[in-house]
Chains A and B, each alone.
Chain A
Amino acid sequence: MAEVLFIGLSLSSILLLIALGLAITYGAMGVINMAHGDMVMIGAYVTVMSKIWLDLSFFAAIPIAFFVTALIGLVIERLVVRRLYGRLLDTLLATWGISILLQQSIRLEFGLSFFGINIEGLGPGLQNVSVPSVLQGTVHVAGTDLNAYRVFIIAVTAVLTLVTWAILYRTSFGVQVRAIIRNPQMAAACGIDVKRVNALTFAFGSGLAGVAGVMMSGFKTVFPDMGSTLVVDGFLVVVAGGVGSIYGTILASGLLGEINALVALFSNDIIARAVVFAVVIAVIVLKPKGLFSFKGR
């Protein structure tokens, strides 16, 4: 039983890394970013490529993936999302388009496959990442043997969540982000450069998704469409937890991850997913603002 809860916790961790960025961008900027799942995909490909081309270790891929996806997020915000603030549905469509573009550019090796040029690691095929030997096997904690790689995922998530919390609640930048979440017009009237803060927030959220991609690459196959289902999972967590609430996001990802693991134990993954959907629907019906939304004005 403890083992199942532990597996659930590692699922929750991945969910949380994906959802944190979404929760902040959706909450702060009112942007539905369908390309967020593809940041996970790109993070996973960064892991693949940094091994093949730079012979870097799995650990080195974590910061690289963060910066690469944060930079891509920044470019997306500057070029597209910035023009669409206040137009929720348009952001959904535009970022969906970006998502398709990103997936196809990986699949077609940035279009080079048309010229018969192939980049090793990209393309429509499946890629695998081998986890470093330190993270293989099990660690012995409190009388049970735990999968070392899952412990690592949980630890990385805990650290990044703590960093996110500290940025939001212990820095002047965080005050600006929270002020924009609550009242963007008044934030601007108080001298906060809303566009700049939004761009950096968007980049940070994308970076977290990139790290989630590195984590996923260690136990799932890497392929160009892997982001599509993940963005849905991310939004399920955000909606269930309450938009703009970091605590809600943490608890909802914990809840959904554990439900997934528990139901999968007694039946299978597909039924587990259906149950997760049912739970989220129940939450939306009973508490439309999510489990932990902040008090409105």
Chain B
Amino acid sequence: MLSIKDLNSFFGRSHVLHDISLEVGKGDVTSILGRNGVGKTTLLKTLMGLSDRVTGEINLQGRDIASSEPYARARSGIAYVPQGREIIPDFTVRENILMGGFARANGKPTIPDIVVELFPYLRDNLERSGGLLSGGQQQQLAIARALAADPGLLLLDEPNEGIQPSIVEEIEQVIFKLNRDLGLTVILVEQNVRFAREISHRFAMMEKGRIVAEGPTAELTDDLVHEHMTV
């Protein structure tokens, strides 16, 4: 599905990602793990085309997209749920969801059935302002917006960060459903090792802008977690 080769990424003068290579299989959940500030979010932003400059290859279904514009990547099936959600506070729930639909192949934004099914709260509050929603509801909205693009690959950046515990489980279930039932390929940036082990097929551990370990989730040992994630 996605094949990254020798990817380097820059913001201004700072060189943030160093020689990242990673294979993401179709239908897999790949967790990107590591401490704060090692470049996990930058990796997702770079995949979406939001960094200043890159070298290397990003092959999406056999096509190199490393120099494509962000909107073109979105239209070729990558959807992004950023850290901090970044929904638009003075757009209604409906407008926020439809915003994701500009990436649809036919260019006609609609609210997909899966959103209605997964997020009954959003369905019932389509005319509310996005800014009035709680953190967990905003996270649901950000996921709904990504789903409106009808994507093949979903980039999720710490979907459970700063959300009340009651909703965390709900969001986890949603991610399970999107992957296991709908076959969405997912790249997940996560701090929570327990959830990463439950959901992912593969993992990649990052340290100082490099991938220092990767493999199937079975190889994500406690030693590895201890070495690269405990503060």
Contact = CB atoms under 8 A, between A and B. Distances in A.
Interface of A: 172, 175-176, 178-179, 182-183, 185-195, 294-295, 297
A186 B49 contact: no
B43 interface: no
- Centre residue among B79, B89, B102, B145 by max chain A CB count within 10 A: B102
A189 B80 contact: yes
- Centre residue among B69, B70, B101, B104 by max chain A CB count within 10 A: B70
Contact of B88 (A183, A189, A191): A183
A179 B88 CA distance: 8
29 contacts: A172-B109, A175-B95, A175-B98, A175-B99, A178-B91, A182-B91, A183-B88, A185-B50, A185-B70, A186-B82, A186-B86, A186-B88, A187-B99, A188-B49, A188-B70, A188-B71, A189-B48, A189-B49, A189-B70, A190-B145, A191-B100, A191-B102, A191-B103, A192-B71, A192-B99, A295-B90, A295-B131, A297-B86, A297-B89
Nearest to A196: B71
A185 B74 CA distance: 12
A267 B222 CA distance: 82
Nearest to B142: A186
A7 to B, nearest CB: 36
B71 A179 contact: no
Interface string B87-113: 011110001001111111000010000
Interface string B122-144: 00000000010000000000000
A195 B70 CA distance: 11
B219 to A, nearest CB: 32
Nearest to B102: A191
B75 interface: yes
A120 to B, nearest CB: 46
Nearest to B49: A188
B66 to A, nearest CB: 16
B58 interface: no
Given A183-B88, A185-B50, A294-B90, A190 B69 contact: no
Given A188-B49, A190-B102, A297-B86, 6 more contacts: A179-B99, A189-B70, A190-B99, A191-B74, A195-B69, A295-B89
B149 interface: yes
- Centre residue among A175, A178, A183, A190 by max chain B CB count within 10 A: A190
Contacts of B149: 190-191
A190 B74 contact: yes
Contacts of B79: 189
Interface string B27-49: 00000000000000000000011
A188 B98 contact: no
A275 B90 CA distance: 34
A178 B131 CA distance: 16
Contacts of A189: 48-50, 70, 74, 79-80, 82
B102 A176 contact: yes
Nearest to A194: B71
A194 B103 CA distance: 12
Nearest to B104: A191
A295 B91 CA distance: 11
B102 A192 contact: yes
Contacts of A182: 88, 90-91
Contacts of B49: 188-189
A172 B89 CA distance: 18
Contacts of A183: 86, 88
Contacts of B82: 186, 189
A195 B149 CA distance: 20
Given A175-B98, A179-B99, A188 B74 contact: yes
